Amino acid sequence: MASTDVGVDDAYRAAVVDLLGVLAYGELMAFERLAADAALAPTIDDEAQLAGMAAAEFRHFTRLRDRLVELGADPAQAMAPFRAPLESFHEMTAPSDWLEGLVKAYVGDGIGVDFYREIAEFLDPQTRALVLEVCEDLGQSAFVVDRVRAAIVADPRVEGRLALWARRLVGEALSQAQHVAAEREALTALLIGGAGGHGGMDMTAIGDLLTRLTDEHSRRMQALGLSS
């Protein structure tokens, strides 16, 4: 893929600002959510693990915010269009206990991370590296899998409840993603190749993308010991 100067191509720059804006607000909300979930942790070790994850999410937020400033964008304005849909998603998927919070962090956020990694293929090298950096697994996967599997062993009835919860999370996440895509044309143009002259996806490629996202979701569910 040919590199594109973010500052020169207006359509591409708008798409990158949108992408970094939604990522930045997502990271800020993840920080707030994990910090709150830490208070529900059953042990001090668990509390410390979640607090560390929250701190890492805030570092990601600051990296994205700083990059938006470098691009000449106002971070608050870049994040503003995504505040309502992201807050709506989190309001509709507020976990009722510690385990639901863990599943949400792993499954609910995971499908978004997978999607952003796919979009990274259509970005200039500097932006791609930043997106992949903030999507990096910080060790939360192993932590969540360990705790959820242990809970299922301790009480097998937990499995059915958490499986239903995970399916609800994915359904809500996809619904909000469709809303954002409909509202933010620059992001959609980036994916299908209309921004910056990047080679985008045709319908076959989009179908393949959806298959990969579904496969990754199934892999996560299996890792947790849940039926997808």
Distance CA 14, CA 102 (A): 34
* Phi, psi torsion values for 95, nearest 5 degrees: -70, 150
Structure tokens at 166: 């995970």
pLDDT > 50? residue 23: yes
What average pLDDT does range 135-151 have in this prediction? 88
Structure tokens at 9: 């191509």
Distance CA 117, CA 113 (A): 6
Contacts of 36 (CB under 8 A, 6+ apart): none
| Band of residue 43 on the pLDDT scale cut at 50, 70, 90 | very high
What single string gives the DSSP state of each residue in 82-148? HHHHHHHHHHHT--SSHHHHHHIIIIIHHHHHHHHHHHHTTS-HHHHHHHHHHTS--SHHHHHHHHH
Q: What is the pLDDT of residues 168-199, one digit of tens each?
A: 998 888 777 777 766 677 777 776 665 555 55
The predicted structure's pLDDT at residue 159: 95
Contacts of 185 (CB under 8 A, 6+ apart): none
The predicted structure's pLDDT at residue 90: 87
Contacts of 183 (CB under 8 A, 6+ apart): 81
What average pLDDT does range 210-226 have in this prediction? 88
- Candidates 112, 128, 115, 109; CA nearest to 67 is 128
Average pLDDT of every residue of the chain: 85
Q: Domain residue spans in the chain?
A: 10-224
The predicted structure's pLDDT at residue 3: 40
| Band of residue 8 on the pLDDT scale cut at 50, 70, 90 | low
What average pLDDT does range 116-129 have in this prediction? 87
The predicted structure's pLDDT at residue 139: 73
| Band of residue 6 on the pLDDT scale cut at 50, 70, 90 | low
Strands (E), 3-96: none
Is the pTM higher than 0.95? The answer reads no
The predicted structure's pLDDT at residue 198: 53
What single string gives the DSSP state of each residue in 164-195? HHHHHHHHHHHHHHHHHHHH-HHHHHHHHT-S
Q: What is the pLDDT of residues 58-101, one digit of tens each?
A: 999 999 999 999 999 999 999 999 999 889 888 999 888 989 99
Share of the chain above pLDDT 90, in %: 43
| Band of residue 130 on the pLDDT scale cut at 50, 70, 90 | very high
**In this structure, CATH architecture of domain 10-224:** Up-down Bundle (1.20)
